[in-house]
Amino acid sequence: MTADVLEINDALTQYDPVMGLEVHVELNTKSKMFCGCPTEFGAPPNTQTCPVCLGLPGALPVVNARGVESAIKIGLALNCEIAEWCRFARKNYFYPDMPKNFQTSQYDEPIAFNGWTEVVVDGETYRIEIERAHMEEDTGKSTHIGGATGRIHGASHSLVDYNRAGIPLIEIVTKTIEVPGEKAAAVARAYVSMLRDLLLALDVSDVRMDQGSLRCDANVSLKPRGSSVLGTRTETKNVNSFRSVERAVTYEITRQAAVLSSGGKVVQETRHWHEDTGITTSGREKSDAEDYRYFPEPDLVPVAPSREWVEEIRATLPEAPSLRRVRLQEEWGFTDLEMRDVINGNALEPIVATIELGVTPAAAKKWWLGELARSANESGQDLDALGVGPVQVAEVQKLVDEGTLNDKLARQVFEGLLAGEGTPAEIIEKRGLALVSDDSALLEAIDRAIAANPNVVEKVNSGKPAAAGALIGAVMKDMRGQADAAKVRQLLIEKLGI
């Protein structure tokens, strides 16, 4: 019996991983790619359809100009060349959620190609080459009823919702990515996370991984260390969180290493990712030259964006992420190490948003890294899935600034926020967290501290004011931390006449 997986370190001493990432992005256009149907998520099934997106005979599609504009934006932001002339193609296959029996896509004439981008992992920058970004349409959505797993196998019947059929998609495909093996999974995660930030900044998609508007397929292969010949790849489909991208790549490396090191062959196939167990299982075998009988779509005119239009779009692009990082680091006064923690913790955007709400960079970093990113990490969640956002962080910091909370109490408020206990005000109320600002209560505690520590008072009186620190500590303890230390200090100084 050979093991199903090797230890990741064993795997990486024998093999170099190679990755290729395919990311599908649903655009946020108001209407679908080839018809006027609306695109809102969550509408009742089959209420957003028409003859075009249902593929009824004789219906004629028309290209959504805004969809093309978004595709060009994405292409330019990924440093791609933009085609002067390109066509849509029919990708022919049958599936019940695809009523036309072909998907309108692009084949050998993508709108954008030959680009590159960069990601930062552990302070190191990795360049990722982009093969192409092409336009296509989403399919409908099948729901299989009666089976145990929600898959078609074992189901009694299936339901199809065509609301999603025809929603514009951009597929972004990288060239093969070869980075040091121990960084591969983290680079894959950083790439998808960077794409999300970029797409948000471009305002072309909602990029909700949980709603499927950003989906990643991860191709992974191994080759013997130092070899330049590519191995056989698998394609793990629809991995839908940043963390899952990292886990799925790691799992495939360890699985393929076990297959290869025991003399087996990796099968070229699609694989399913299982979030709960952290493994991939075999899907369908897939050859490189699958015959989709692609041919140019005869019902659509070619897309020929004028160079003037492309330049107009280029002029609207936001600052490149790498330049923006450098600028923000300078503005915030963070060290390289601090900035690296921010990036690695995926906390850049939340921190930007929190600072925009009036919080200082240092405080924003303290809460996002010290409390929230740490907690996300512990519970294995993505930071933006925690349910605590910039608005709440700014609220808590405001309470600290006003003297209602100190840092220690603020941490407990965050704990309450993460546990879903309500707004900061409600949590303070329920948990009884507010600082005691009533001078008389503080003065009573000071009297108790003085009475209990005559030797400390003696020292202070004999010309050692620093000794008063012990009294402040005693008062804070007495108040169970719910006092503003600066205020206690002030009152104590007055009392002892230092």
User: Which residue number, 19 or 372, has a Cβ lying nearer to ligand ADP?
Assistant: 19
Question: In angstroms, rounded to a whole number, what is the distance separating the alpha carbons of residues 34 and 190?
Answer: 33
Question: In angstroms, rounded to a whole number, what is the distance separating the alpha carbons of residues 496 and 498?
Answer: 6
Angle between helices 439-452 and 468-478 (to 10 degrees): 120
- Where in 435-464 is the site for Zn ion (CB under 5 A)? none
Residue type, 108: D
Q: Which window, 26-34, 213-221, 252-260, 421-429, contacts ligand ADP (CB under 6 A)?
A: 213-221
User: Which residue number, 297 or 478, has a Cβ lying nearer to Zn ion?
Assistant: 297
CB of 295 to ligand ADP, least distance (A): 17
User: Which residue number, 269 or 338, has a Cβ lying nearer to ligand ADP?
Assistant: 269
Selected from 8, 10, 22, 357, the binder of Mg ion by CB under 5 A is 22
User: Which residue number, 53 or 111, has a Cβ lying nearer to Zn ion?
Assistant: 53
Please tell me whether residue 22 binds ligand ADP under the rule CB under 6 A: yes
> Which two tokens mark 178?
């070869």
Question: In angstroms, rounded to a whole number, what is the distance separating the alpha carbons of residues 290 and 63?
Answer: 27
- Where in 7-66 is the site for Zn ion (CB under 5 A)? 35, 37, 50, 52-53
Please tell me whether residue 444 binds Mg ion under the rule CB under 5 A: no
Please tell me whether residue 97 binds Mg ion under the rule CB under 5 A: no
User: Which residue number, 138 or 478, has a Cβ lying nearer to ligand ADP?
Assistant: 138
Binding at 64: pick from Zn ion, ligand ADP, Mg ion, none (beta carbon under 5-8 Å per type): none
Please tell me whether residue 173 binds ligand ADP under the rule CB under 6 A: yes
Binding at 434: pick from ligand ADP, Zn ion, Mg ion, none (beta carbon under 5-8 Å per type): none
Selected from 5, 11, 15, 20, the binder of ligand ADP by CB under 6 A is 20
Question: In angstroms, rounded to a whole number, what is the distance separating the alpha carbons of residues 111 and 88?
Answer: 9
423 DSSP β-pair partners: none
Instruction: List C-alpha distances in Å: 120 to 102, 125, 196, 416.
Output: 39, 4, 14, 33
Q: Which window, 58-66, 227-235, 310-318, 410-418, contacts ligand ADP (CB under 6 A)?
A: 227-235
Instruction: List C-alpha distances in Å: 389 to 114, 371, 373.
Output: 37, 12, 12
Selected from 5, 6, 19, 427, the binder of ligand ADP by CB under 6 A is 19
Question: In angstroms, rounded to a whole number, what is the distance separating the alpha carbons of residues 411 and 418?
Answer: 11
Q: For residue 407, what is the DSSP state?
A: H
Angle between helices 348-356 and 321-332 (to 10 degrees): 50
User: Which residue number, 157 or 284, has a Cβ lying nearer to ligand ADP?
Assistant: 284
CB of 32 to Zn ion, least distance (A): 5
Question: What is the residue-wise DSSP string for 21-89?
Answer: EEEEEE---SB-SSS--B--TTPPTTSS--TTTTT-TT------HHHHHHHHHHHHHTT-EE-SSB--E
Centre a 10 Å sphere on the Cβ of residue 479 and count the other Cβ atoms it contains. Answer: 18
Binding at 175: pick from Mg ion, Zn ion, ligand ADP, none (beta carbon under 5-8 Å per type): ligand ADP
Please give the residue whose beta carbon sits closest to Mg ion in the complex: 22
Q: Site for Mg ion (CB under 5 A): how many residues?
A: 1
CB of 136 to ligand ADP, least distance (A): 11
Classify residue 92 as left (phi > 0), alpha (psi -120 to 50) or beta. beta
Q: Which residues bind Zn ion (CB under 5 A)?
A: 35, 37, 50, 52-53
Question: Using CB under 6 A as the criterion, which residues of the chain lie in contact with ligand ADP when the complex forms?
Answer: 18-22, 173-176, 219-221, 230-231, 233, 235
Q: Which residues bind Mg ion (CB under 5 A)?
A: 22
